[in-house]
Amino acid sequence: MFENPEIADSPGQDVASVRLCIPREQIREVMGPGIMEIFGVLGAQGIAPAGAWLTHHFRVDPALFDFEICVPVSRPVAEQGRVKPGKLRATRVVRALLKGPYEQLSTTWPAFMAWIDAQGLQKAGDMWEVYEVGPESGPDPASYRTTLNVALRA
C-alpha cells in the first residue's frame, strides 16, 4: 500500500528515454534491456544520470503499457537508436511512496487513484514511477522504494 501522499511541485527535468507500447505481460522482458540501452548511450556520450530512473506512463489500459523508460540527465542526450532526448514537464503532482516489491504496483496504483479521486483532485493524465531503491541496491524486494506521481490539473 502507498504511504505519505502529498501534493508538491515537480520541476521540469531533461531525460533520456525509450518509448514502448507493449502488451502488459511483456513488461519484465523489455524493462531491463531498455534501461541498459539508455545507460549504454549515456555512457558513450559522457552523460551522468541526474537522478533515479523512472517510467512515464501515457495512458492506463489493463492490457497495454504505453510508456517510456527514462533516466534524468543534466544535459540533453543526442538521439541514438531508440534512445531519444525528452523532458518531463514542470507540474503540480500528488505523490506517494510504495515500500516493497514491484509486484505490488498493480494493486497500489488503483488504490492510489481512488484516494486521489476521493480527495476531489483533478488528474491531468501524466503519471510516472520513480524507482528510488531497487534491485541494484540489494537482493531484498522489501527494501525497494518507488515514488508514484500523478500530475494534477492547474
Q: CB neighbours (10 Å) of residue 36?
A: 10
The pLDDT of 98-122, averaged and rounded, is 96
pLDDT value of position 1: 86
**Boundaries of domain holding 17:** 2-152
For the chain, what is the domain count?
A: 1
pTM score > 0.85 for this model? yes
What's the CATH number where 7 sits? 3.20.80.10
pLDDT value of position 138: 86
pLDDT in tens, 20-49: 999 989 988 999 999 999 999 999 999 999
